Structure 1
Amino acid sequence: MNDLGTPVLDNHLHLDRENQGIEAVKDFHRLGGTHLLVVNKPSWHLGVEAETGEDFRAVFEETIALVEEASEVLRGRAWPVLGVHPGLVTRLTDERGFEPHEARDLMQDGLSVAAEYVADGDALALKSGRPHYDVSDAVWEASNDVLRHGLDLAAECDCALQLHTETTQDLSDVAQWAAARDVPRERVVKHYATGRLVGGTPSVMSEKEYLEVALEEDAPFLMETDFVDDADRPGAVLGPKTVPRRVQWLQENGHDDAVAVAHVETPAQVYGIDTQATLDG
């Protein structure tokens, strides 16, 4: 195992026991990775075509089970992040005949079920967002209603909310909604960020070009791969070895302070987790 001398957290990846599953965790561990935030896969990828909020429970339970197995492998541990993928709105409206408000209600109900796990201490944070592609005004508004419900739940659970959104470096609108609910801005986490963000904490895709932007910003950030663990898309989006490799690259280029920010300080600030204290048990 490669010991990088620091906690190494991948802030957003997916695991699927029908694909690489725990083998991906072993790859991450062998290169020096210590901690994972495992986000449930989109419900339909696991064969769940939800009719009610309760139908998402099987997806969440599977993610929690995988996290427990991952924690057995890691020097640190893994945590679940649970929610409803915003792309579900299109699957519901375009393929299953839902009206936008009906899709909204189902997705909000699924988020409420996810929040039960956070409230009970079985998950760390929530996941929501809005489509990253063009949709109708009605679908966009329904999606923003779902996102705002996620913020309501984050306020109730005192937790962070990871967001899948359009490509942007400005989430000022979401920051205003968070402020209205007393959700600290740093707990609004933009997954798949490109290094710079107004209105929340960027979870930076671990490409060197995006990390270089984050270094220039000199602000709190996280690192992620968005590994999707799909046999039809091997290595997509980035492979599970990427974050440890990028941490080593940062260290070799004299950016130890940035490594501490991304893997110790920002996780503590955003999620209230101690990646240093949870190493080796």
Structure 2
Amino acid sequence: MDIEDTPVLDNHMHLDPIEGQNIDAVEDFESVGGTHLLVLNKPSWHLFDPASDEATFEEVFELTIEAAADASEVLPGRAWPVLGVHPGLISQLVDEGYTAAQARDIMQAGLDVAAEYVADGPALAIKSGRPHYDVSEDVWEASNAVMRHAFDLASEVGCAVQLHTEGSEDLTEITEWAQDEGLPPEQVVKHYSGGRLAGPIKSVIAEKDELEIAAELDEPFLMETDFIDDPDRPGAVLGPKTVPRRVRWMLEEGWEDAVRRAHVETPARVYGIDTEATLGR
């Protein structure tokens, strides 16, 4: 199999239509074989101010929807927006003087808005999670409440949740919480995952050593760059060409089944999208 014979999906990329590369990054992705993107909204404070009301969330979400639509014009496949609230917002709000409970309520309201975009059609999935750094007990409890709210909303509107969490190889407790809220574990995705993870579906950062683990485990997985489209940090976390280049390498290594799993089977299983039917090259 050659890369021209398969869809190539980056499961987690940010685009910044205000100050970033935006469509230039999409063109870079496409130029080396990329076909499909999930476009995540940047944290609100990277675009405007820390979101404390629904209007700011809506402004961020609308920018992301527009960026994904523009990306779809460039790609041989298409792009889908994934909208939500970065778990680091709670620290931003607490630093501004909000209590953890007040921050929780603001973030849950932002997730309500994101779920409306899923229910109404423009967005594919919701983003949530909890801080990956040390926080106080009240912030941790509030963050878990926000995440559980995301699971409840996703169950209601019938979509997946991408999670930003601490690094771990066992997050089964989180998928148990999702099940408690009516969301199947296969619709819980750990963004920036290593190749080995119990619990959620892993979205593996596109580094060779982690992809090798994921490919050999014969489990569902996705691939991502977590490209942040920040002019002050060009190429961070990984550049937009990385996933297609890693797919090419995987095919050279003989991992055709793993490539199909990551770019056709798992996207269909998690998000209900058909990366082959939407591929027009």
TM-score when scaled to structure 2? Answer: 0.97
Q: CA RMSD in A?
A: 1.1
| Cα displacement (A) at 1:217 | 1.6
Native 8 Å contact 1:169 1:197 kept in 2: yes
Question: 1:144-223 maps to which residues of 2 (within 5 A)?
Answer: 144-223=144-223
> Which residue of structure 2 aligns with residue 129 of structure 1?
129
> Which residue of structure 2 aligns with residue 245 of structure 1?
245
Helix, strand or coil for the counterpart of 1:10? strand
> Which residue of structure 1 aligns with residue 256 of structure 2?
256
Q: Which segment is superposed worse, 137-146 or 50-59?
A: 50-59
> Which residue of structure 1 aligns with residue 271 of structure 2?
271
Displaced runs of 4 or more, over 6 A: none
Q: Which segment is superposed worse, 211-220 or 145-154?
A: 211-220
Q: Deviations over 1:126-163 (max 9, x none)?
A: 00000000000100000000000000111011000000
> Which residue of structure 2 aligns with residue 42 of structure 1?
43
Letter matched to residue 23 of structure 1: D
Q: State how far apart, in whole Å, the 2-side matches of 1:55 and 1:43 are.
A: 8
Identity %: 65
Native 8 Å contact 2:29 2:240 kept in 1: yes
> Which residue of structure 2 aligns with residue 86 of structure 1?
87
Gaps of 5+ in 2: none
Q: State how far apart, in whole Å, the 2-side matches of 1:19 and 1:269 are.
A: 32
Helix, strand or coil for the counterpart of 1:190? strand
Q: Which segment is superposed worse, 208-217 or 28-37?
A: 208-217
Q: State how far apart, in whole Å, the 1-side matches of 2:234 and 2:151 are.
A: 33
Letter matched to residue 52 of structure 1: D
| Cα displacement (A) at 1:11 | 0.1
> Which residue of structure 1 aligns with residue 7 of structure 2?
7
Q: Deviations over 1:187-212 (max 9, x none)?
A: 10000000111111000000001101
| Cα displacement (A) at 1:109 | 0.3
Helix, strand or coil for the counterpart of 2:4? coil
Q: State how far apart, in whole Å, the 2-side matches of 1:221 and 1:160 are.
A: 14
Q: State how far apart, in whole Å, the 2-side matches of 1:123 and 1:241 are.
A: 24
Helix, strand or coil for the counterpart of 1:75? coil
| Cα displacement (A) at 1:3 | 5.2
Letter matched to residue 86 of structure 1: P
Helix, strand or coil for the counterpart of 1:4? helix
**How many pairs were matched up?**
279
Q: Are residues 254 and 3 of structure 1, via their aligned partners in 2, closer, same or farther at CA, if it must alter by over 3 Å?
A: closer
Q: State how far apart, in whole Å, the 2-side matches of 1:280 and 1:115 are.
A: 29
| Cα displacement (A) at 1:216 | 2.5
Native 8 Å contact 1:127 1:161 kept in 2: yes
Question: 1:100-119 maps to which residues of 2 (within 5 A)?
Answer: 100-119=100-119
> Which residue of structure 1 aligns with residue 231 of structure 2?
231
Q: Are residues 45 and 7 of structure 1, via their aligned partners in 2, closer, same or farther at CA, if it must alter by over 3 Å?
A: same
Q: State how far apart, in whole Å, the 1-side matches of 2:103 and 2:268 are.
A: 34
Q: Deviations over 1:17-58 (max 9, x none)?
A: 221100000000010000000000001111133222332000
Letter matched to residue 80 of structure 2: W
Gaps of 5+ in 1: none
Q: Deviations over 1:88-140 (max 9, x none)?
A: 1111112x011000000000000100100000011000000000000001000
Native 8 Å contact 2:264 2:276 kept in 1: yes
Question: 1:38-77 maps to which residues of 2 (within 5 A)?
Answer: 38-77=39-78
Q: Which segment is superposed worse, 45-54 or 184-193?
A: 45-54
Native 8 Å contact 1:54 1:110 kept in 2: no
Helix, strand or coil for the counterpart of 1:235? coil
Q: State how far apart, in whole Å, the 2-side matches of 1:30 and 1:54 are.
A: 36
